[in-house]
Amino acid sequence: MPSGSVQRRTAKARLRYSGEFFHEAEAGLPRDKTDHGLDTCTSEQQALRALLAIAVFNSDGLGAPPRDWGIHVIRVYTLRMSARFNDLHIATDCPWNVSRRINTPRADSAYRIPGLRTLCHRFDHTTLRHLPTRAFLLVRFNHEEGSRLVCGRPCPDSDLDKDMLPVDHPMGPQEISELATVPPMSPAAQTLLAALLVRMALQAPDGTWATAGWHYPPRDIPNAFPNQNEIGKALWGANDHWSLRWYGFPNPEFVAAALTDPVIGLAGATVEDVGNDFVVSYRSARLRLVEHNRHMLGSTQAVLQALERQE
Ligand SMILES: [Zn+2]
């Protein structure tokens, strides 16, 4: 098959899950156009994505101390991810608000991601650079025009607000100490957590599962468990062993499906149903998915069947 056809087919398969525009999905494909590209990135990107996972999936009372970084609240915005080899785009209807939740303001008491700096800021996009990993992150509008945006890193008309830290602002002692509290990760665990982050807003085209930003289930997705977002989430572990705990949407099998789906999953990742939990394995790394309602109510399938019988 001509390579152009392979590229189109792979990009179309990717966007059916990611919700990207065609040219976005195409831009995210690696050199081997047969791969969806969600996990093909620089080591700098992978390190930042894994750190973002720690930041996003620790929230409220249940979360480990990175919850205080505050960026977990981005899930309340409608967003989708567009993973690139050397970049990660967060597309949203509210780029200004979302970038405000991610970038590190000047006030020492309000860190988001330690070491993140604003490289370019306009009304329609913000480009951030993470000093320790040297990786880029772009927050921009979700619409067609926004999706074609190429930031000049920085753009000529970039105008940083006075409380945004520029890239020449060095890491402070508090940032260094907060970053040091993140447990060490094995290379396989870093890949797995990065894969979790870039799959936080997917939806299977056949409607059997969705992660959909981890906020509310999309219509027609069979969400079996009540939403209890206020209790929070926790992603923690060390080296090869990690666990993600939460209440409510998404169903744990949805998260497992996102990571192991034959089309959009992480190549080589497998899942095992272990009683009330799922364990996703990737090489030497293990991620235990613990949705707490499942411990009280049983499997999602059993809950759905019980609900059906009541109708
Ligand atoms: Zn720019």
Structure confidence by residue, pLDDT tens digits, 50-98: 999 999 999 988 888 888 888 888 888 889 999 999 999 999 999 988 9
Q: Where in the chain is the domain with CATH 3.30.460?
A: 38-51+72-180
- According to the model, what pLDDT value does residue 228 have? 67
Handedness of CA 129, 132, 134, 136 (dihedral sign): negative
- According to the model, what pLDDT value does residue 1 have? 55
- According to the model, what pLDDT value does residue 108 have? 55
- According to the model, what pLDDT value does residue 111 have? 67
The protein residues having their C-beta less than 5 angstroms from ligand 1 (an ion) are 120, 151, 155
- According to the model, what pLDDT value does residue 292 have? 92
Residues (pLDDT < 50) of the chain are none
Handedness of CA 65, 215, 19, 112 (dihedral sign): negative
Centre of ligand 1 from the C-alpha of residue 119, in Å: 8
- According to the model, what pLDDT value does residue 54 have? 96
Provide the token pair at 108. Answer: 């020492």
185 three-class SS: strand
Assigned fold of 38-51+72-180: Beta Polymerase; domain 2 (3.30.460)
- According to the model, what pLDDT value does residue 107 have? 65
How far apart are the C-alpha atoms of 227 and 217, rounded to whole Å? 9
Centre of ligand 1 from the C-alpha of residue 113, in Å: 20
- According to the model, what pLDDT value does residue 67 have? 85
Pairing of strands 233-238, 125-130: unpaired
- According to the model, what pLDDT value does residue 193 have? 98
Q: Which residues pair with 285 in a beta bridge?
A: 282
- According to the model, what pLDDT value does residue 2 have? 59
Centre of ligand 1 from the C-alpha of residue 28, in Å: 19
- According to the model, what pLDDT value does residue 229 have? 64
